[in-house]
Structure 1
Amino acid sequence: MKEHYLAQSQSSLTGLLKRVGSLGSLLMLTPLVGMFGPATEGALAEERLCRGSLGAITVDNLRVPANATCTLNGTRIQGTLKVETNATLRATAIRVNGNIQAENATLVNVLPGSTVGGSIQIVQGGAARIDTVQINGDLEFLSNGLRLVATKNVIGGNLQAFQNTGGLSITSNRIGGNLQCKENVPAPTGGSNIVEGTKEDQCRRL
């Protein structure tokens, strides 16, 4: 049996070498096989839905689906946190390695003790409060319709507020990039912001 198995293996290897053309060509294929392995693993990263409350657990990616309410306390997110249409997020002491992305959300509150490795992007939604958060990237408010508050945050990139219509308070933030505000009605209020770059347009006196 052992001799028969070895003969079959040798025959299979010989056939493979003939198809490839040479042992050198076969070895050249090895890096290509390795390239597909990590891509497949990345594609299988888990996305968890949040309806209700989550505590001090770790997840890959998290999504608050349309019309849902999600409360997070001490949750760790290895990838991205997404907040969808008419959804509500209340997050305290969370850690997000990637971005927080909210589009058409009703409410987004990210509260003290939270850190975000990427950016926070709140677009075409309702109200938001970003309070005492460490943000390595940017904080962006774009075309939101209700009250927005950014206070006591440490922001590695820019704070940008464009075309918001519900009022915006920007107070006591430390910003590594620029503070940029345009076409907000009413104009933003606040002050005591420390900005390493420039304060621009509607926020030049904040």
Structure 2
Amino acid sequence: MTPVLSLLATLSVLPSSDVSALELSVPAVTSPAAAVSSLDLAQARGTVTLTCRGTLTSRNIAANILVPAGATCLLNDVMVTGNVQVQSGASLTVRNANVQGFVSGRAGFRHLDVQGSIVQGEVRAEEGGSFNLNDSQVTGHVRVSRNTGPVRIAHATLNRDLECWSNRAAPTGTWLRVDGRQLGQCSRL
């Protein structure tokens, strides 16, 4: 199946209640013939982006996901082949999911919560509100810095470094397995 057909098949199985949670962003094209090749190229480069405002459940999502400023997104029981980014004032909960890219909340995100999930890239929570990583596995680095809300990391397996710097409240957590280094405020978790 071509990337375009895969993306269309993924979108076509969305129940009507989920359709309002998605927007698709791809580069502009000038002709119908160019549409397929541009979408194939965009997806190959990882530039196909779904915007999440609401709940996405039980899906395979062959795209990056963006939670735009001020929005709330729940990714429940999904597989995401791209990255997930949370913008200023936005909240994201990732529950029972597999994200093959990174999960990143930066510059003013409100809340980032990863529960019972596998993230195959990095997890970053920087310059935002609260952060929770619970009962999950992260194969990349976990970087948590300059957050104003509570930071909790518990019952997690981290295959690389865990770095915590300059968070307003010291991070808390138990039952961690960290294969890399534990640095900064997380050095004693």
Q: Structure 1 length as normaliser, TM-score? A: 0.68
Number of aligned residue pairs: give it.
151
- Where structure 1 has 5 or more consecutive residues not aligned to the other structure, the ranges are 1-35, 46-59
Cα distance in 1 for partners of 2:180, 2:187 equals: 11
Residue in structure 1 matching 2:136, options 125, 133, 153: 153
What is the rounded CA distance, in whole Å, between the counterparts of 1:136 and 1:197 in structure 2? 15
8 Å CA contact retained: 2:159, 2:179: yes
Q: How many angstroms apart in 2 are the aligned matches of 1:175 and 1:39?
A: 38
Change in Cα spacing, 1:98 to 1:44, as seen in structure 2 (3 Å) is closer
Greater Cα radius of gyration, structure 1 or 2:
1
Whole-angstrom distance in 2 between the partners of 1:39 and 1:158: 34
Which residue in 1 is equivalent to 2:50? Answer: 62
The separation in 1 between residues aligned to 2:89 and 2:40, in whole angstroms, is 27
2:123 is equivalent to residue 125 of structure 1? no
User: Which structure would you say has the larger RCO, counting Cα contacts within 8 Å and 6 or more residues apart?
Assistant: 2
Residue 105 of structure 1: how far off its partner (Å): 3.9
- What stretches of structure 2 of length at least 5 have no aligned partner? 1-33
- Where 1:166 maps in the other structure, the secondary structure is coil
Q: State the partner residue of 1:140.
A: 124
Q: Which amino acid aligns with 1:87?
A: A
How far the C-alpha of 1:153 sits from its partner, in A, is 1.0
Deviations 1:116-144 (A, max 9, x none): 00110011210121101111111110111
Q: Distance in 2 between matches of 1:119 and 1:62?
A: 15
Amino acid aligned to 1:74: S
- Percent same amino acid among aligned pairs? 23
Q: CA deviation at 1:205?
A: 1.2
Q: Check the 8 A contact 1:137/1:155 in 2, yes or no.
A: yes
RMSD: 2.0
Secondary structure in structure 1 of the residue aligned to 2:38: helix
Alignment of 1:167-186 (within 5 A): 167-186=150-169
Check whether the contact 2:67–2:91 (CA below 8 A) recurs between aligned residues. Answer: no
Partner of 2:40: 42
SS state of the match for residue 129, structure 1?
A: strand
